[in-house]
Amino acid sequence: MTTVLLVDDHPLFLDGVRAALTGAPDVEVVGEAHDCREAVEKAAALRPDVVLMDLNLPDGSGIDATRDILAAAPETGILVITMSDDDDAVVAAMRAGARGYVVKGAGRTDLLHSVATVAAGGAVFSPAVAARLGGYFSGLAAQPGREMFPQLSDREREVLDLVARGFDNRRIARELFLSEKTVRNNVSMLLGKLDVTDRAEAIARARRAGLGQEPG
C-alpha cells in the first residue's frame, strides 16, 4: 500500500485529487496539509511514501517545504503539483530533492502512474526538464570555486556566487526560488565556513576564486 500526503491550499483541487487516489486499491491518502508548516509537521508525523506538493503555499514556497521534509525523512518521495511543465520553479524543486512533477489537471491514470513511480524510487519529468537538470548537475562539476571552497555545500556556493555578483538577499531569493529567511541562513552559514566577518570580505574571496561572473 502506497501512503500519500496531499499538500495544497485549494479545497476543490484537494477534493479532486483525493477522489482520484482513494479509488485506487493500492493507494491510501493518509493526510492533507494546507501550508508549508503543516506539510513539514504532517510529513514528519505520518511518514508517507509520497508527498504531493504544491509549490505556491500561503506561508512560503513548496520548495523550502520539500527541503525540510527531506532533511527529516529522506526516504519520502516528493511529487510536485504544478500548473506548467516548463516552470523554472519545477527545476528548482527537482534540485531541492523532488523526484518529479504532475501537471494540475492531469488525468487519473497519469496521476496514479506518477505516484507509483515516485513511491518506487523513480523519477517523473518531461524531456525538457530532464535536459535542464542534466545541464545543471553536469555544470556543478566545473563550477568555479568548487575546489577552493570544498567546505561549502552546493547551495551555499550558489548563494556565494550571487552574493559576489552584488545581489542582495531579496534578489538571491528570487533567483533561486527560496525564501529570504533561507537565503539569510545560507549567507550566515557560508560566512562562518569561510571564516570572514562580512559580505564584503566574502565577495573579495569569492571573486578571487572566479565566482561572481555573469554567465556568458
Whether residues 109 and 151 fall in one domain? no
The number of domains in the chain is 2
Closest CA to 5 of 215, 34, 26, 148: 34
Most confident of 29-43, 65-79, 84-98, 188-202: 29-43
Q: What is the pTM of this model?
A: 0.65
Task: Return the amino acid letter for 203.
Answer: I
Domain boundary among 134, 161, 184: 134
Q: Tell me the Cα Rg of the chain.
A: 19
71: confidence class by pLDDT, cuts 50, 70, 90: confident
SS3 call for 78: strand
Whether residues 25 and 130 fall in one domain? yes
Buried b (16+ CB within 10 A) or exposed e, 72-92: eeeebbbbbbbeeeebebbbb
CATH number of residue 54's parent domain: 3.40.50.2300
Residue 215 domain flag: no
